């Protein structure tokens, strides 16, 4: 099965950014991709660099956005993974991936469960943590374990998706460097980000698709300079082997063929699921195991 992800920079406005994405989706469909993955909050700039109530306006169009991407999926006969700003009611918003079936119907949605909050990534201001749990979404191209950005640092999330039958893990994401960090620190952060996601493929013997934003975006508040989103989107196989890997500067479409049958082959030689010591894992449900 051929899959594609679209790594792109913010094109200055929601309209121009969406227009670019649509041409890329068309190209991916023409190339033969049956699953197309977009990056986190792909319609706009990464507005969480500052806390400003004006940005909640982006979520007003959630229902329209869903209708729009639905017809794009249908037009190109693809399964499409989007990442949208969901307004549920006034004062209640989520960071939500909506997955569309080839006929444009909604296959399912995932609301980001782990919400970050650190300088330049003020997501706790904007997004209520997801309340749909870690539930894979059944589609015509397989059962998709959709997770979003900060989720990628949590082996728990990847494992639960796997135990619920996910056949591939998909991470729309928006991560980057501060320019003022040292070259060594940047390299450690990038390597860590790639490594942890490859490890989810390895621990669970399923492919991983990670689609990151690229390019510099300034901090609208002026408090910080801004973030250089580091690209490096990738697709890896069931042993964590890189099948396709983007660079750090360019808008690009990445393609790979992934195999659901490889999961069984790998699990037969490395049967990690067989030997989990579930009776000894209770501590995983605690905040910290200090008996407080």
Selected from 64, 183, 282, 292, the binder of a copy of itself by CB under 8 A is 282
Phi, psi of 232 (to 5 degrees): 60, 25
User: Does the annotation count 64 as an active-site position?
Assistant: no
CB 183 within 8 A of CB 204: no
Confirm whether 14 is a catalytic residue: no
The answer to whether residue 112 is catalytic is yes
* Cβ distance to a copy of itself smaller for residue 73 or 202: 202
16 versus 241: smaller Cβ distance to a copy of itself: 241
Residue of 137, 221, 215 lying closest to 179 (CA atoms): 215
- Tell me which of 52, 156, 219, 251 binds a copy of itself, using CB under 8 A: 156
**CB of residue 209 to a copy of itself, shortest distance in Å:** 17
- Per-residue contact string for residues 231-270; x = within reach of a copy of itself by CB under 8 A: --------xxx---------------------------xx
**Helices 14-31, 62-76: inter-axial angle, 10-degree rounding:** 20
Q: How far apart are CA 81 and CA 41, in angstroms?
A: 11
Q: Does 153 bind a copy of itself (CB under 8 A)?
A: yes
- Judged by CB under 8 A, does residue 165 bind a copy of itself? yes
- Least Å distance, CB 8 to a copy of itself, is 25
Among 74-82, 158-166, 219-227, 248-256, the segment contacting a copy of itself (CB under 8 A)? 158-166
Of the residues 112, 123, 211, 236, only one is catalytic, namely: 112
- Site track for a copy of itself across 178-207, x = CB under 8 A: ----------xx-xx--xx-xx--xx----
User: Given CA atoms 122, 124, 126, 127 in this order, what sign does their dihedral have?
Assistant: positive
* CB-nearer residue toward a copy of itself: 75 or 276: 276
CA separation for the pair 132, 170 (Å, rounded): 17
CB 135 within 8 A of CB 163: no
User: From the CB of residue 128, how many other CB atoms can be counted at a distance below 10 Å?
Assistant: 16
Stretch that binds a copy of itself, among 2-10, 86-94, 151-159, 224-232 (CB under 8 A): 151-159
Q: Which residue has the tokens 């006929």?
A: 103
Q: Give residue 142's Cα distance to chain centre.
A: 17
Concatenating the DSSP letter of every residue in 188-254 gives: HHHHHHHHHHHHHHHHHT--EEEEE-EEEEE-TTSSS-EEEEE---EEE-TTS-EEEE--SS--EEE
**Cα 237 versus chain centre, distance:** 17
Catalytic residue among 48, 86, 149, 167: 149
Least distance between a copy of itself and beta carbon 166 (Å): 10
Q: Which residues bind a copy of itself (CB under 8 A)?
A: 113-116, 118, 129, 133-134, 150, 153-157, 159-160, 163-165, 188-189, 191-192, 195-196, 198-199, 202-203, 239-241, 269-273, 275-278, 280-290
Kindly list the catalytic residues.
40, 112, 149
């Amino acid at each position: 099965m051929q899959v594609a992800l679209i790594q792109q920079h913010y094109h200055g406005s929601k309209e121009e950014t969406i227009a670019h994405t649509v041409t890329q989706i068309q190209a991916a469909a023409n190339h033969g991709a049956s699953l197309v993955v977009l990056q986190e909050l792909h319609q706009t700039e990464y507005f969480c660099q500052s806390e400003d109530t004006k940005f909640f306006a982006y979520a007003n169009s959630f229902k329209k956005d869903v209708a729009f991407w639905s017809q794009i999926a249908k037009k190109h006969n693809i399964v499409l993974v989007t990442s949208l700003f969901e307004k549920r009611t006034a004062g209640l918003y989520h960071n939500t991936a909506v997955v569309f079936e080839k006929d444009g119907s909604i296959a399912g949605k995932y609301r980001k469960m782990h919400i970050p909050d650190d300088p330049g990534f003020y997501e706790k201001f904007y997004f209520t943590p997801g309340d749909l749990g870690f539930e894979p979404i059944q589609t015509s191209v397989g059962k998709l374990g959709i997770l979003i950005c900060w989720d990628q640092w949590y082996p728990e999330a990847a494992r639960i998706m796997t135990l619920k039958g996910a056949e591939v893990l998909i991470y729309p994401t928006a991560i980057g460097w501060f320019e003022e960090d040292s070259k060594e620190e940047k390299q450690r952060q990038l390597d860590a980000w790639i490594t942890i996601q490859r490890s989810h493929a390895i621990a669970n013997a399923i492919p991983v698709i990670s689609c990151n934003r690229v390019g510099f975006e300034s901090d609208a508040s002026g408090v910080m300079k801004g973030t250089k989103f580091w690209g490096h989107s990738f697709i890896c196989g069931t042993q964590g082997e890189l099948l396709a890997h983007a660079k750090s500067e360019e808008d690009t479409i990445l393609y790979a063929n992934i195999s659901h049958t490889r999961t069984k082959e790998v699990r037969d030689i490395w049967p990690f699921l067989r030997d989990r010591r579930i009776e000894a894992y209770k501590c995983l449900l605690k905040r910290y195991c200090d008996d407080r």
